[in-house]
Amino acid sequence: MGIPKIKESCVQAVVESAVRIPPDQFAAEFMAKNLVEQPKLLGGIMSICEGLTEALIGDEESTEETMAVRIAMLTCCAVTFNIIQAQIESNELEEMFAKDST
């Protein structure tokens, strides 16, 4: 199964939920959850964020700027992942209720 077509309502719901807490907290919660549930995916996302940060900022030691960029990238990835996951769950519920009503 591929990635489902994402509905605007799903995007809005996830984004509204994500912006209720600071980005660093959102990213930390995403990391903690997926360290257990999706460790390979999390490792890949973290590698991409680190590589892109180095490409954008340079090979500097961790500074506030590098951490802010990594958190921003990780938060974008986390929101995207959560949107896809929420849409899959929504579609599954729609299917389940459609079968129950027939």
Render pLDDT for 12-28 as a digit per residue (tens, 0 to 9): 999 999 999 999 999 99
| C-alpha distance across the termini of the chain, in Å | 24
b vs e for 19-32, b when ≥16 Cβ sit within 10 Å of the residue's Cβ?
eeeebeebbeebee
Q: What pLDDT, on the 0 to 100 scale, is given for residue 81?
A: 95
Q: Is the pLDDT of residue 52 over 80?
A: yes
Q: Is the pLDDT of residue 102 over 80?
A: no
CB of 80 closer than 8 Å to CB of 26: no
The residues spanned by each domain of the chain are 35-102
Render pLDDT for 56-93 as a digit per residue (tens, 0 to 9): 887 666 788 888 898 999 999 999 999 999 999 999 99
Q: What pLDDT, on the 0 to 100 scale, is given for residue 89?
A: 95
